A = this chain, B = another copy of it.
Amino acid sequence: MFSTSIIPRVSETDGAGHINNTVAPVWLEAGRRELFRIFSPELRFDDWHLALVNTNLDYVAQIFWQRPVEVRTWVDHVGNSSFRLYEEIWQGETLCVKGTVTYVHFDYAAQRAAPVPEAARARLLEHRRAP
Interface residues of A (CB under 8 A from B): 7, 9-11, 13-18, 20-23, 25-26, 29-30, 33, 36, 42-45, 48, 51-60, 62, 65-66, 108
Contacts and interface: CB of A to CB of B under 8 A. Distances in A.
B21 A25 contact: yes
Contacts of A108: 16
A43 B65 contact: yes
A6 B51 CA distance: 23
A87 to B, nearest CB: 13
Given A45-B16, A59-B52, A59-B54, A11 B22 contact: yes
B13 A45 contact: yes
B33 A29 contact: no
